[in-house]
Structure 1
């Protein structure tokens, strides 16, 4: 059986340097890598604002899903990584707005830091789409 694999790039200069893709589709499974709140000008969006950063992460991840032939309705799992888990409600608000009907399995975790210290949150997600 031939396995179909498709990669999606966001154009980040880190992708070839690290050797990763924004998203990978293998058959009907789509994985979106840890997505940071980076603006189109490569600056951090929403400095100091967990909600705004989470919205930006979800926007980027949604574009990657669409390029891979999936949608937010196909998402079955999300991971929200925060540098301060006490601010989880701010990220949860953005997540709840975006996933009101899909309601994927979701985990919030605290991490010590990200590549850029201005990032307060990163989002990963997995989807299943025909």
Structure 2
């Protein structure tokens, strides 16, 4: 196993890694909308927070030699399922032709008061 770490995404806020590479798989820890430059939660609506989360995920994947197209599974955690259509709107900007499997779960709260958290699993060599 190999730890994946980049300054392009926020540092872990607990005892975990940004991602772990195990074989051809990259397991990206849940990302919340923290700006890696400031270490602060991005304020704003769910669309703004989601863009920051997906940009953070993309930075972690790039550090592992991957892109968003390597993602095979996405798990989305939100504090309000009523934001489903807004999330899908922005999500579709990042995942238009490539559509990984996805779960969408409402939770009672997320770290730092975030509205959204996303974790992903990617495959390093999609041709195997």
Q: What's the TM-score once normalised by structure 1's chain length?
A: 0.87
User: Displacement of 1:46 after TM fit?
Assistant: 3.4
1:26-41 → structure 2 map (5 Å cutoff): 26-39=22-35, 40-41=37-38
* Aligned counterpart, 2:117: 122
Number of equivalenced pairs:
121
* 3-state secondary structure, aligned to 1:79: strand
Distance, in Å, in 1 between the alignment partners of 2:102 and 2:12 is: 29
1:48-127 → structure 2 map (5 Å cutoff): 49-117=45-113, 119-127=114-122
User: Displacement of 1:19 after TM fit?
Assistant: 2.0
Give unpaired runs (5+ residues) of structure 1.
none
* 3-state secondary structure, aligned to 1:106: strand
